[in-house]
Copies of this chain bind each other. A is one copy, B any other.
Amino acid sequence: MRATMMDVPLTVAQILERAGRLFPDTEIVSRRPDKSIHRYRHAELHGRALALAAALQKAGVKQGEPVATLMWNHAVHLEAYFGIPCAGGVLHTLNLRLHPNDLVYIVDHAGPRTLIIDDVLLPLLAEFRDRVRLDRVIVVNWGKGALPEGAVDYEDFIAAGAAGYVPPELDETDAAGLCYTSGTTGKPKGVVYSHRAIVLHSLAISLPDVLSISHRSAVMPVVPMFHANAWGEPFACAMMGAKQVFPGAHLDAVNLLDLWNDEGVTLVSGVPTVWLAVVRALDENPGRWPRVKGLRALIGGAAAPEGLLRALIKHGIDPAHGWGMTEITPVGAIHSFKRKLDTLPPDARIAHLAKQGLPLPLVETRVVNDSGEAPWDGASVGELQVRGPFVAARYHNQPDSGDRWTSDGWFKTGDVVAMDADGYIKLSDRTKDLIKSGGEWISSVELENAIMGHPAVAEAAVIAVAHPRWDERPLAAVALKPGNSLSLEDLRAYLAPHFAKWWLPDAIAIVDQIPRTSTGKFQKSVLRERFKDWTWDIPTR
């Protein structure tokens, strides 16, 4: 007996059609470079995205051809999110925070011939323009300035409109998007998303227990559209009919809070550093943003310290941890409380919020260590491995990266986790950030989150430093709040009630700030390099 269902592929084009036809009035709000507000509706997004698609087709973009973007979060970037895949092309978002050398590597590796760029980012392009081959540069000319020689104004490019647009014959496994991982080591690696992966991911992240995206939502991805699809929200919001609010280049807390308050934003996603700044602004301006109460704060990209969670809750913001990777389109897990946890006392509730949550539907998970698959007991740790229709099976044109997949086809995330009996993931560390001391493992993330609870500490990272007797021992790099000091003895005394004695850092290094990757994560590789010749001045244990 054979199924009698239609063979209709899952495509990004369907998402755009739905947005334009069922939710034509949904607003898209963007902050321009000059801080003024740009505002239009899905009906215009739909028309302009198809106009872009038609223009790209006329310009000769072929099916499966990458088209690069170098833009902040705003409505025109959203048009590219849809227009490029609707033309049959591959949306290739370039990370504007990368070093020009990395951008040259990526453009050379992926091979886009067309780039759509914000005028305010032309100086960045100028730094590497002569080292890449780009046949066509299309400029979103916010400032109405003069364009570089040979460049085209975006509005002129799409002016002919959607007339002549020919929907490509798409298979759902065809390429639609391309992101490069901003790895802390090694060269960036490309992940090519299929139409199918984007549609399935959009459905999964919109579910009530995930991001709960509705046509009644107003969503701001602070997370950049040039990084991991802005966690997939632009696609999901369009599919669900949700309003989107984009901060453009203005990512300081006051600008963000103004937009959330003015536009009635209900869901914001960002990395912990964004939320730390938001809490500071709320502390300093009591009562200034009344409509921010009730906002759902999705925190991902790195683990949020408990102190941050507490501060958000104090301000009436509802925080939830998430976990994802560029290789997972990108969301893998989001925290939501099961009913059985409703009776947890407040402190235990905060502690539970420190978990990264439940895996999404369609994301299969397992935890593997030297003894095989670890039990889901909340204590046994191992590497998190995942499998699913929106998980990468390989990197683009990177034959030497097979060690990231197991022989039975699971993706090795490199994250060390414990899973509890209820299916909640708790990130303990990156495999490469674990500290091996006397044959046992110490989690650098747990230590640094605890250290960041100390009142004198602004931020902290813990790294392994080679040790003649114990193999490795933890060193705490600490940035202090202005006017504070902290000794190693004080730090150890502060941590002692919460950790085994042999976990306590054996050294403290006061630093101005913790170095970060282009996406705001702690860049421990820089610290490891800086302290690689550390000499231990006290006997340990």
Contact = CB atoms under 8 A, between A and B. Distances in A.
A272 to B, nearest CB: 26
A174 B2 CA distance: 6
Give the secondary structure class of A's interface.
Answer: loop
Contact of A1 (B65, B203, B215, B393): B65
Contact of A207 (B3, B4, B203, B421): B203
A208 B213 contact: yes
B394 A4 contact: yes
A69 interface: no
Contact of A22 (B21, B395, B423): B423
A17 B393 contact: no
Nearest to A197: B5
A487 interface: no
A36 B24 CA distance: 51
A321 to B, nearest CB: 16
B6 A389 contact: yes
Interface residues of A, number: 77
A206 B362 CA distance: 14
A47 to B, nearest CB: 16
A330 interface: no
B64 A239 contact: no
Interface stretch (A115-123, A187-195, A455-463): A187-195
Contacts of A364: 8, 14, 17
A318 interface: no
Contacts of A213: 208
A402 to B, nearest CB: 13
A371 B209 CA distance: 44
Contact of A389 (B5, B65, B193, B359): B5
B216 A339 contact: yes
Interface string A159-183: 0000000000000011110100000
A477 interface: no
A7 interface: yes
A4 B215 contact: no
Interface string A266-282: 00000000000000000
23 contacts: A1-B192, A1-B396, A3-B173, A3-B176, A3-B197, A4-B190, A4-B192, A4-B392, A5-B197, A5-B391, A5-B393, A6-B387, A6-B392, A7-B173, A8-B391, A9-B389, A17-B364, A18-B361, A203-B203, A206-B207, A208-B216, A209-B215, A216-B339
Given A4-B395, A4-B396, A215-B358, 4 more contacts: A3-B173, A4-B393, A4-B394, A206-B208
